[in-house]
Structure 1
Amino acid sequence: MKRRLFLPVLVAAATGLGIWAAEAPKEKPKPLRVLMVTGGCCHDYENQKRILAEGLSSRANVEFTIVHEGPDPKAKDARNHKVSIYEKDDWAKGYDLVLHNECFGAVDDVAFVERIAKPHFDGVPAVMLHCSTHSYRAAKTDEWRKALGQTSMSHEKNRDLLVKTVNAEHPVMQGFPKEWLNKADELYKNEKLWENFVPLAQAYGEETKKDHAVIWVNTYGKGNVFGTTLGHGNATMEDPVFLDLVARGLLWACGKLDDKGKPLPGYESQQK
């Protein structure tokens, strides 16, 4: 009798263990650690850092560390400030991505600028917003421009921009309109597009009489880069179309966006 009961007991025990293993809860992904570097000339960075941190956190599983430095944006030397965190070789250590929203175009220290670019070349993903494209343009090195994916030294007057999608299949552009009227922004002129630059959307230059890429992705060394020259004013920054776009770009750069433009499981916003 005992021998007849022994096998079913083992089977039941093994089945029970199998159920327990299958139902064991998976550990939730930790938030992506994002360093936001902001400050400099000509923009309302005090409010933009809040707009971006709140807007992106409501769209993706991210947590921000914010470094905001520099004189008053209207000061004569606002373009010259050297952000202190960049003085260290390992300034990006511990972060999953760096979001650059800065405007320091007059900084010309080559070693300093190349130190900013190096972690991205080594594999730290980046998001480049608006005047980050014009930052460090006085430096006689192309490393920051290669990290961006383009060289730009000037922009057209502030006006409404009709942004047209040119790569609707890319995951970052899923959900972005075929055409989007972006009011009161600046068109940055593309002077050179580097070899790994992939345009996603463009706008027409009234001065240059040609189209310029305003949304793109880039590969710099081992690093994925999402960039847009849009975002001069707070109205653009606050627009859900813009915030949705940047959230997708951030997740794409980190490898956490699926082919349909949705966050991978665990990387959607955890806010309730």
Structure 2
Amino acid sequence: MMRKSLFAAALIVTAGAAEAQVIVTVPYRPPETVQRVKIPVNPAEKRLKVLIISGRNSYEHDWTGVNNMLRALMTDSGRFDVRVVEDFDHGTLAMLKAYDVVLLNYSSRWNYADPVQQIWSPEAFEALYAYVREGGGLVAYHSSFTWGREIPEYKKLIGAVMEPGTSRRAPPGAFTVKLIDRGHPITQGIREYIWTYNDDMYTNMSFAPDAKIHVLGTAHDAASAYDPKITGPKYPAAAYTPEKLKAMKGIDADHPQLWVQDYGKGRVFSITIGHDEVSLHFHPLQTLILRGTEWAATGKVTLPVLDEAKDY
């Protein structure tokens, strides 16, 4: 009887607090704060083989930590076996053909504005182009768009690059990406708007005129985000006055952040977000990376949408 009385009282309190926030409890597991190094995959498992090409990046990027997290994320999915190469200058077509998909996490400069860069040999570039043209999959990831502006074929391969002076990183470190094609195999079942965390919004990118890209997601570069009260020292107030903002190309406009394209017989998935290990802790980005990599490798997607990225 006592238990029934308590239950009835709880109902009365709940009914009287109709405007209170509903508390939903879900299974909770604290996030990992120490990165794991993945153990090798059993060769008997028939997994898609991924090669991450890395080895040089800008100082803002924890590229070695990101490579480790990408490797753990993909291996944990049960779908991929992953290797990392940090010296692609000696890359060959035969080497690349051992893999189903290549992920580029590379930037040739220590600083975005540096005139000197470390680029691969002509033979390595041609091996990469031939690999994708002949049917290999490619994922162009985040900082891979910050270089290659002097290399037309690389720009065509990944679809677009950042151009100093016209392209920019918009101020918000956390912003929404709107999925404008939710029927594509990569994005199907993902909510319309996803959040990013500690990430970069690339705007006014220079798109290769002969790359036939299909945009999956965009982000909005709002003039209000350049308010000096919220931007910080990277955005000096004198450079972003209301008058100067009005004259800026692409302000208060939507900018592609995710797209796909064919390159010869190969498939390319381009994803500009994914700045660091912080952003990689969240399900929407994890989902896009996993499903985009699988699509680039096979043309199909079997991996599920992770819980916090699901449409509801």
TM-score, normalised on structure 1? 0.72
| Change in 2 beyond 3 A, CA 1:162/1:142 | same
Q: 1:102 aligns with which of 102, 106, 115?
A: 106
Q: Following superposition of structure 1 onto structure 2, how do residues 95-174 of structure 1 map, counting pairs within 5 Å? A: 95-105=99-109, 106-107=117-118, 111=122, 112-137=124-149, 139=150, 141-153=151-163, 154-159=167-172, 160-174=174-188
**Is residue 2:206 matched to residue 1:202?**
no
CA distance, structure 2, for counterparts of residue 205 and residue 91 of structure 1:
41
**Is residue 2:269 matched to residue 1:226?**
yes
CA distance, structure 2, for counterparts of residue 108 and residue 29 of structure 1:
35
What are the Cα deviations for residues 43-87 of structure 1, in whole angstroms up to 9, with x where unaligned? Answer: 101211111111122224111111135xxxxxxxxxxxxx3343x
Q: Whose strand fraction is larger, Structure 1's or Structure 2's? A: 1
> 1:257: Cα distance to partner?
2.7
On the 8 A contact 1:114/1:143 being kept in 2, the answer is: no
On the 8 A contact 1:33/1:95 being kept in 2, the answer is: yes
Aligned to 2:16: none
Q: Percent identity?
A: 24
TM-score, normalised on structure 2? 0.63
Q: 1:38 aligns with which of 54, 74, 95?
A: 54
> 1:180: Cα distance to partner?
1.4
- AA paired with 1:64? V
CA distance, structure 2, for counterparts of residue 158 and residue 90 of structure 1:
42
CA distance, structure 2, for counterparts of residue 135 and residue 191 of structure 1:
11
CA distance, structure 1, for counterparts of residue 170 and residue 180 of structure 2:
23
On the 8 A contact 2:195/2:284 being kept in 1, the answer is: no
> 1:41: Cα distance to partner?
1.7
> 1:146: Cα distance to partner?
1.1
Counterpart of 2:94 in 1: which secondary structure?
A: coil
> 1:242: Cα distance to partner?
0.8
Q: 1:48 aligns with which of 66, 74, 77?
A: 66
Q: 2:89 aligns with which of 62, 81, 84?
A: 84
CA distance, structure 2, for counterparts of residue 238 and residue 135 of structure 1:
26
Aligned residue-pair number: 218
> 1:177: Cα distance to partner?
2.0
Q: Report the RMSD for the aligned CA atoms in angstroms.
A: 2.4
